[in-house]
Structure 1
């Protein structure tokens, strides 16, 4: 296995529990008690980061925002409480998942394994020319989408959204997260335009007699690619 996991939490018991459990499964575990220590340990190039939200000093959200442009690995937030606003904020700034305290070690291991496998698949897919889902073919180099061998005429933004979701098959993105990744942090406008673009993509898919099965709405959160 040998995947590297960075665990950031100010509770010594949590660090010890997670470190022992993951080490038993073959992971190489590094721990940090605060964000400053975690920043130093990023040089190990972790395969995944487990990040506590509530910590003294810089919190997990602030740390994620600081490092996200430089770190591409999955980030799972660990938090004692969660509400929809926190979930949306975490996804918007680049988090990939949440797990709440108290948590089961079995559940944590399952989440970690799933994200690492997905990250490896995505890396492999990014080096491919095509992604194929049944009757849909995405030409990544030519920036075209074919449905039943017939091209779907898309705008640049529409293709960018499809590419983002398809390359991260199954991962949920909030509207805010999609907007920031596609339009950029400094773009003028707001995330409501994402819903309009998704609506147009679905309309074009339907014109080719394809149901809305590829872009799925996750109510209260955002969208994901589903095939």
Structure 2
């Protein structure tokens, strides 16, 4: 099995260095240079995340807290912050380990291997299916939607509609197709109910995020916009 490691650091030189080293150690790597990009890459289901703390916009601690309930894999902080309180904060926000810069690549590799072995022994826990879209986290396993660390409440049918659209992001569907997929072929009613549910979903998402995720294609239908 080839393990996949997500490396998150705003310094591109650092992500490239770690990526090259870990690939030489037979790991698969994916890299992000900010928190938003890291959230999008969660869909690739990394087996371990290496996370810098000092990043612009959303720092590593905040990112860890936002994603911790949606990823089961180990999170290893790599940072220049060296006080005891910094280490405590990292662990309290959901990190599994903490290594300070400058560090030995051999030590980092050993810690990664140890966490992956421990996580492999713990595989009896269920895998979490997560889709992301522009800072929105849709947890398909828990049937929940989060923006940053706040949950956005949706009804069962609203979530079904969100799941269908985001799973088929950037594809356009007419109301009849959406109705058949979400309500079922044998449902009593008509596709006009789709319009009302889309309206409610949009209102909740816009209130929580200030963004529009569902686009109306006039004369055709709807699509989920994924950047």
Q: TM-score, normalised by structure 1?
A: 0.54
Q: Report the secondary structure of 1:123's partner residue.
A: coil
For residues 68 and 12 of structure 1, what CA distance do their matches in structure 2 show? Answer: 24
In structure 1, the partner of 2:4 is 4
Match of 1:71 in 2: 71
Give the match's secondary structure for 2:123: helix
- Count of residues in Structure 1 that have an aligned counterpart in Structure 2: 126
Moved over 2 A (4+): none
| 1:167-201 CA-partner distances (Å, limit 9, x unpaired) | xxxxxxxxxxxxxxxxxxxxxxxxxxxxxxxxxxx
Partner of 1:93: 93
Partner of 2:56: 56
Q: Which residue of 1 aligns with 2:112?
A: 112
Whole-Å Cα distance in 1 between the matches of residues 114 and 72 of structure 2?
16
Equivalent residue number for residue 23 of structure 1: 23
Deviation string for 1:140-171 (max 9, x for gaps)?
xxxxxxxxxxxxxxxxxxxxxxxxxxxxxxxx
Matches within 5 A, 1:1-227: 1-124=1-124
What is the CA-CA distance between 1:54 and the residue it aligns to? 0.3
The answer for the alignment partner of 2:164 in structure 1 is none
Partners of 2:80 and 2:90 in 1: CA distance: 14
**TM-score, with structure 2 as normaliser:** 0.54
Structure 1 segments unaligned to the other structure (5+ residues): 128-227
1:93, CA displacement in angstroms? Answer: 1.6
Could you tell me how far 1:103 is from its partner in structure 2?
A: 1.0
Superposed CA RMSD in Å reads 1.3
Larger Rg: 2
